[in-house]
């Protein structure tokens, strides 16, 4: 079974998963729209948003967070056609009002095997955690020494690959890290992607 076929099987399993009682059942965002398999770079966000990933079936697409992420990538030269995008928790965790909430640690643990398997199949050189939750979830897959906020855009060895942390591209992040600083962070990832492509 090749990597793409194995990924399709994984996507079917994720779509049928009902491990978490407090997420929107059947809302897993995983499929061809995530990106190529394999890919040199894998981005991991938090969870599908109700106005973005859940609505369109595409991770980091359509809502404000997705627009910010794609604008940062476009402005810094990151080629998303050569990147795979997923979430730490594949299904939407709704708030009591039906909006977005932060995934629970139990949900991150329940989705850990799906995240681990995606990393194995995509086989990236660099994994990029978009925010604290994504970084924490990756630590559940394989422990790491990346400290959120301290090692921003500093790829470090991790499980035979490299792991980098960026701030989550939501609008609220601008209060903690300016757009100019985030663009500098993304330029590090863009340079990494160009270096991998040149090998």
CA distance linking residue 141 with residue 88, whole number of Å = 10
pTM for this one? 0.97
Banded model confidence at residue 158, pLDDT cuts 50, 70, 90: very high
What CATH number does the domain containing 53 carry?
3.40.470.10
Is residue 135's pLDDT more than 80?
Answer: yes
Is residue 2's pLDDT more than 90?
Answer: no
Residues of the chain with pLDDT > 90, as a percent, come to 89
CA distance linking residue 82 with residue 79, whole number of Å = 6
Q: Where are the beta strands (DSSP E) in the chain?
A: 41-45, 83-87, 126-130, 156-158, 161-166
Cβ neighbours of residue 135 closer than 8 Å, sequence gap 6 or more:
129, 144, 146, 148, 165
Range of the domain at 180: 3-197
CA distance linking residue 129 with residue 80, whole number of Å = 15
Average pLDDT score over residue span 23-40 = 94
Task: Quick: pLDDT tens for 88-119.
Answer: 999 999 999 888 999 999 999 999 999 999 99
Average pLDDT score over residue span 139-151 = 96
Average pLDDT score over residue span 120-138 = 98
Is residue 4's pLDDT more than 80?
Answer: no
Would you say 47 and 100 are in contact if contact means Cβ atoms under 8 Å apart? Answer: yes
CA-atom Rg of the chain in angstroms: 15
Average pLDDT score over residue span 126-146 = 98
- In the chain, % helix, strand, coil (3-state, to 5) comes to 45, 15, 40
Average pLDDT score over residue span 53-70 = 95
Average pLDDT score over residue span 178-197 = 96
Task: Quick: pLDDT tens for 33-52.
Answer: 999 999 999 999 999 999 99
Amino acid 191: pLDDT:
97
The domain tally of the chain equals: 1
CA dihedral (144, 160, 156, 129) positive or negative: negative
Q: Where are the beta strands (DSSP E) in 10-169?
A: 41-45, 83-87, 126-130, 156-158, 161-166
């Amino acid at each position: 079974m090749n990597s793409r076929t194995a990924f399709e099987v994984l996507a079917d399993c994720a779509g049928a998963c009902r491990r978490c009682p407090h997420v929107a059942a059947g809302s897993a965002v995983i499929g061809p729209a995530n990106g190529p398999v394999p890919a040199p770079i894998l981005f991991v966000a938090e969870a599908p948003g109700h106005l973005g990933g859940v609505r369109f079936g595409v991770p980091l697409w359509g809502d404000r967070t997705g627009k910010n992420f794609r604008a940062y990538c476009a402005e810094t030269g990151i080629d998303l056609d050569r990147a795979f995008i997923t979430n730490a928790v594949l299904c939407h965790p709704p708030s009591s009002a039906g909006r977005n909430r932060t995934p629970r640690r139990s949900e991150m643990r329940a989705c850990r095997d799906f995240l681990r398997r995606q990393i194995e199949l995509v086989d990236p050189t660099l994994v990029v955690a978009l925010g604290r939750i994504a970084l924490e979830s990756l630590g559940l897959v394989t422990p790491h020494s990346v400290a959120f906020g301290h090692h921003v855009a500093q790829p470090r060895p991790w499980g035979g690959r490299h792991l980098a942390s960026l701030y989550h591209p939501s609008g609220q992040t601008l209060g903690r890290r300016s757009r100019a600083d985030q663009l500098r962070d993304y330029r590090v990832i863009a340079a990494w992607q160009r270096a991998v492509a040149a090998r």
